[in-house]
Structure formats: structure tokens, C-alpha cells
Amino acid sequence: MPMNHMQPFSLELDFQTGIIRPCNNYIERRLSDMPGMYADHEAEQKALQGGDPVIYQVHQYDVPNENGHLLVVTSTIHAGKIGDEYHMTKGHYHARRDTAEVYVGLQGQGYLLLCTEEGGFESMPVVPGTITYIPPYWAHRTVNVGSEDFIFFGVYPADAGHDYGTIESEGFPMLLVQRDGVPTLVPNPTYGRPA
Ligand code: S6P
Ligand code: ZN
């Protein structure tokens, strides 16, 4: 075996929390880390003043960011809303647009929202046991529409990288909000325009 081959390894995944051990890349995103991404800016300001809640946590195990390697990652989105819009991730395209990703639902009730730069949009529920395939060229955002943590596992090419800027400036075509107590997709009035 060539000396530069990496050794196989295994990790422990806690299905109740999404924590993987060991973990060498932990990210916590608070509301203040995603300014202007929720449609209701008044509700956003109120929540910021009320303590800047942690919206989601990401546990990833980093390996070399090289072609051939895969990254494994869990995301835990805490339940809640900003105004009537459910807690969600920032959402991103992969910097290398020709890379896919697979998500597996582990806990809670969520949705995966996807869009393309050509204006395409798709959404699908993600619950424990759902496998979703995110093809190359689709931006992806996840949303917790339930009353407990929404947790999912993901795996994607280690050289994919992340482009957050496109979604930061353009948003998603649709928003997922609560209407009459039910998760409902509504057109994003500021889609395509800087927030
Ligand atoms: C990475 C993968 C997920 C997200 C995570 C947080 O390609 O899609 O691990 O990074 O769900 O979302 P975001 O949009 O803040 O990266
Ligand atoms: Zn991704």
C-alpha cells in the first residue's frame, strides 16, 4: 500500500443529537450569522435583541479536500420560526457546481428546498428514513417545520466547496412559512434582488 493512502476509520453518530465523535469541524450558526435571510426583518431584529438564537449546528469530519474523498456531516436545525418563516439553513450551491450530495433524514420533520440558477425549484419532505439525492447544479437549503430538532446526515465530495454568496444575494424562489398552522410554500417577493 502506498504510504500516502489514508487509513480507514469509523465515527460514532448520535441519532438523537446529530453529534458525531470524533468531530474535527463544528459549526454553529446563530441568527446573526445569516443577516437579512428571513423575510420578516422586524421579527429578525426582535429575535436578535431577544438573545440571537442558535438556528442550527453542523458536525463534519474533515478529510483532505481532494477529488476522490467524501465528507460526512450532520446538521441539527432547532425548532422555531422567525416571524412565520421556519428555521432554516443559509443554503448554498457547491462551489464546484458539478458535485452532488445525499441527505438522509434521522430525526424530526423537515423539508429540502432546491433551486437552480436557471430558476428551477423543487421541494421535498425529509423525515427519518428519507434519502434525498441533490444532483449537481442544484442549490440546497433545509428547513425545520416540526416542533423538535430536525436532524439529517449528508455525504458529498470533499472538493465540492461552498458558494454562499449567490443565495445571500438572490435568495430562494420560494419561502416555507406557517399558514393556518401548516407548512406552506409562498413565492419569495425579493427573489433575485439583493436583500
Ligand atoms: C454541505 C451540506 C450540509 C450543509 C449544512 C448547513 O454541503 O449541504 O452539511 O452545509 O446543512 O447548511 P449551510 O447552507 O449553512 O451550509
Ligand atoms: Zn451541500
Distance CA 68, CA 52 (A): 38
Burial label for 142, CB within 10 Å (0-12, 13-18, 19+), is buried
Architecture of the domain defined by 12-187: Sandwich (2.60)
Look at residue 1 and tell me whether its pLDDT is greater than 60: no
Distance 55 CA to ligand 2 centre (A): 17
Q: Whose CA is nearest to atom 12 of ligand 1?
A: 89
pLDDT recorded at residue 110: 98
R_g of the chain computed on alpha carbons: 17
What region does 137 belong to: left with phi over 0, alpha with psi -120 to 50, or beta? left
Q: Which residues line ligand 1 (CB under 6 A)?
A: 29, 58, 73, 75, 89-92, 101, 140, 142, 154, 156, 162
pLDDT in tens, 3-24: 568 999 999 999 999 999 999 9
Nearest to 115 by CA among 187, 62, 195, 52: 187
Domain ranges of the chain: 12-187
Give whole-number Cα distances, 105 to 110, 132, 144, 179, in Å.
Answer: 8, 8, 11, 24
Please choose from 73, 101, 137, 164 the residue to mutate so as to test ligand 1's pocket, defined by most ligand atoms within 8 A of CB. Answer: 73
Sequence-distant (≥ 6) Cβ neighbours of residue 77 within 8 angstroms = 55, 56, 87, 88, 89, 108, 110, 142, 143, 144, 149, 150, 151
Whole-prediction pTM = 0.97
Question: What is the average pLDDT across 133-156?
Answer: 98
